Amino acid sequence: MGASKLSGMQKQVLSLYRGFLRAARSKPIEDRKRIEMIVSTEFRHNSKEVDRKNFQYIEYLLRLGTKQLDQLKSPDIISLSSVKVVASKT
Amino acid sequence: MAFGLIGRVVGTKPSRLSTAARLIPARWTSTRSEAQSKASSGGGGANLKTFQIYRWNPDNPGKPELQDYKIDLKDCGPMVLDALIKIKNEMDPSLTFRRSCREGICGSCAMNIDGCNGLACLTKIESGSKETTITPLPHMFVIKDLVVDMTNFYNQYKSIEPWLKRKTPASVPGKEILQSKKDRAKLDGMYECILCACCSTSCPSYWWNPESYLGPAALLHANRWISDSRDEYTKERLEAINDEFKLYRCHTILNCARACPKGLNPGKQITHIKQLQQSG
């Protein structure tokens, strides 16, 4: 391992990721795979693209993620889906 | 002929603002070209004012910046909200801000204008060539440009249970619970609150403890339900907020009374709660 100590913000991101995976476990098996796929691609994409020092944006994403997680935890919600929108300059 | 009649009626209005009076007949005309020619004939030299507006886009996240916009005040309504709408319509459609009623009753357009919290639709644009700085409500998380995250504020309002609670049923079931005029007068100065959050976001104590201190707005509403003669859970309400952090973070700084766009005094209501706690 030998990883250096994780900062508070990194711990928050990891605990949010854990929260999503735990919430996914309570859903039916097919939706569970889709949720895990969407969440893991989103987190991996952001970890590469977002600058480590850009605290404002990371905190914004954390707050957004926490709200989405609270929605997902509700038993009425069964699945997540993701749509890619490309802004066109027409 | 109809236009002539309308022009004459408008002309009898008190001419406090001469430029506005010249523009009113222009707006009554239905043809845009006529209106434009009348508006531009109001003066060759435009009265430009610079607005510095806080911009931050979560889609292209970088550092937040103050962007400059120049507005001709002759062509614009008197309030800051008119300037913002004009910028959004004509110069930069990506400027994001909340607004709804444009008359100071919904509380959506609360923002920090030249250092003071207020409603954009009720704050007049200061005449003169000084720059006006518009930033979002202080110490609130920013979602985009001037839009802030109000969920904590609303949750605190929800936590004081802002509804009538009774132990005994109404004396005449199915009918209103009666209240004397004197008892109703006790609610004046509290029921008018529109939950714009100007007061809470101007309180330094709320800046340092936003999660634990309820803030002037929620406490004003707590007092509104405590003072309501029809409510029978007064003791429980007082006990619920009798907390070192929820109530006693207030140090009577009284920035809230200064910031309130409706002229209310949350600090006074908080003092009332503290007095009740002492005596009860």
Q: Over the stretch A32-52, which tens digit does the pLDDT of each residue have?
A: 899 999 999 999 999 998 888
Can you give the pLDDT at residue B15?
Answer: 44
B237 or A75, which is more confident: B237
Q: Quick check: B61 and A57 CB within 8 A?
A: yes
In chain A, residues with a C-beta closer than 8 Å to the C-beta of B143 are 60
**CA distance, residue B257 to nearest chain A CA (Å):** 31
The answer to whether residue B22 scores a pLDDT higher than 60 is no
8 Å CB contact of B58 and A57 = yes
Q: Tell me how far CA of residue B205 lies from CA of A62, B77, B197, B216, B268, in angstroms.
A: 25, 36, 14, 10, 16
pLDDT digits (tens, 9 = 90+) for B154-209: 999 999 999 999 999 888 888 889 999 999 999 999 999 999 999 999 999 999 99
More confident residue, B5 or B212: B212
Q: In terms of DSSP bridges, do strands B48-55 and B132-135 run parallel, antiparallel, or are they unpaired?
A: parallel
Q: How many CB atoms lie within 10 A of CB B98?
A: 17
**What ipTM is given for this predicted complex?**
0.80
Using CA atoms, how far apart are residues B158 and B225, in angstroms rounded to an integer? 13
What average pLDDT does the segment B92-103 reach? 96
Return the half-sphere exposure (C-beta side, CA atoms, 13 A cut-off) of residue B137.
30
* Stated pTM of the model: 0.81
- The residue that leads in pLDDT, B130 or B10, is B130
Answer yes or no: do A63 and B141 touch at CB < 8 A: yes
| Chain B residues touching A59 at Cβ < 8 A | 141
Compute the mean pLDDT over every residue in chain B, rounded to the nearest whole number. Answer: 86
Contact B31, B51 (CB under 8 A): no
